Chains A and B, each alone.
Chain A
Amino acid sequence: MKKYLLTISAVLLALWAWVGCTDFPVDEDGLLITTRGECYVSNFELLGSDFQTVRTKAAVIDTTAQTINVEVFYGTDLKNLWPQFSLVTDAKLDPKITGRVDFSDLANPKKWTVISGNRKVEKTYTVYLTVQPKP
């Protein structure tokens, strides 16, 4: 009996040591680097200062051309918008969105780079904003 207990304890200890010492790579943000190579935006939302959507319809995301086309309501305050990206699993966005973003310079659309889970694929998406025409 004592022998069995000792064996089980030794096995568990070895297992724990192995798990504890396995090196999970993390990136500079402390995020796990995985094996996934997928790299795309799956959904895009744009909120106003009142945290209500300003889109007139769903944003058109072209993962081949790496563009996002979104039309916003007439009267939207373009200087204070809050973009929200949904990304494929494990991917991350650069630069990070930390607050309101100024989209008012429509001639120079904003760009964000999606970085895959394995951190080896990077795709830069351009967000094209159009405003509903004045009535």
Chain B
Amino acid sequence: MKLKYFNFIFLMSVVLMFASCQDEEYSIPAAGTDLQNDCIKRSLGPNVVGLNIEFAYAMALPRDKGKLVSAQVEASIAGGSGTYLENRSFYTNSSGVDVGITVGNPSSTNGTKTEVTFSKDTCASTLRYYYIIPEEARGKSVSFKFSAKDSNGTTVSYDMGPYTVAKMDMKLDMVLSDNNNMYFSVADMAVMNSATAAANPSKVDLVYLYRSYTTVTFLHALVSPANSEYLPGVTLPAGVNNSTPLWKVYGLRDQQLARLQYGIYVDDLDFTQEDFTGAPNYGINMKAESGAWVQTADGVYRAYIFVNKVDNTKKEMTISVKRYKMK
């Protein structure tokens, strides 16, 4: 009886050793004999209206089997103005620089389809596709069908997506300046001067000011018009009195706003999950690369304001904003 168990365990051990030690030899994959294609998405982060989604579409067939004739991309929603398929195939040189070789005529876009016709006798090419996200795609999903045709009439295709397009808006590099363009409207995503603020008092959400004191650190500040405590020496236009809840944030360097090396992205979900309960309505001593979550007084919009840079001499602050409509 015992011997039977021993034999069983011994056999299992041998099987286990055999399975774990088996050496799988690598073999170079055999090249296909027909036209083939592949595609990758190159751009990262949320798909924001106005920005692009970038792809690299590769197609090839054996040299003796013919040449490439055309490449085409069909988007489920027609791309915005500036959508194009590269007519150059890129390679990376020894210095790490991408060098483009023209292989076809500039792309033509007709509705949802963008096409490049090859002008060079080539059997392998990688073309990049830049899809400018149109307003019509906001909050929807967009997908793509890449296809290539060779001189034999063979066609291959590759489906990409669907990709969700964010609902949020984005605006970059707005300059606020003390005592001049010092008003910011989240609803308009715009900087205003006194005259514009006076004409649209309900739209002014924040006031920018710069104050330098020897005893306290105030410097660059974003303050709600309703908070007179932190608006020293500021006379607001009549009717400008919104109280905008604001959470100061440090270290949230959204890649699309900051355009720095950090792979952090603020997306639609972040706006919906932000809780403004108990939030103050001012933020003083705002530094470069810091930011603030804000919500308009009427609760219609939420925004993330990123401070790209501050200038103590000019008394200026450059901001980039992502904004989400809540209701």
Contact = CB atoms under 8 A, between A and B. Distances in A.
Contact of A75 (B215, B216, B249, B251): B216
Contacts of A50: 247-250, 290
Contacts of A134: 216
A133 interface: yes
Contact of A48 (B218, B248, B251, B279): B248
A135 interface: yes
Contacts of A79: 278, 280
Interface string B200-238: 000000000001011111100100000000101000000
Interface in B234-281: 247-251, 278-280
B248 A49 contact: yes
A23 to B, nearest CB: 39
Interface string A68-95: 0000011101011000000000000000
Contact of B247 (A49, A74, A133): A49
Secondary structure at the A interface, as helix, strand, loop or mixed, is loop
Residues of B in contact with A, size category:
20 to 34
A48 B285 CA distance: 12
B218 to A, nearest CB: 7
Secondary structure at the B interface, as helix, strand, loop or mixed, is loop
A133 B282 CA distance: 18
Contact of A74 (B216, B251, B290): B216
Contact of B282 (A48, A52, A75, A100): A75
B278 A51 contact: no
A50 B287 CA distance: 12
B39 interface: no
B280 A52 contact: no
Contacts of B217: 73-74
A133 B248 contact: no
A132 interface: yes
A132 B248 contact: no
Interface of A: 48-52, 73-75, 77, 79-80, 100, 132-135
7 contacts: A49-B248, A49-B279, A51-B251, A73-B285, A75-B284, A100-B278, A135-B211
Given A49-B247, A49-B248, A75-B216, 6 more contacts: A48-B248, A50-B247, A51-B251, A75-B218, A80-B280, A133-B216
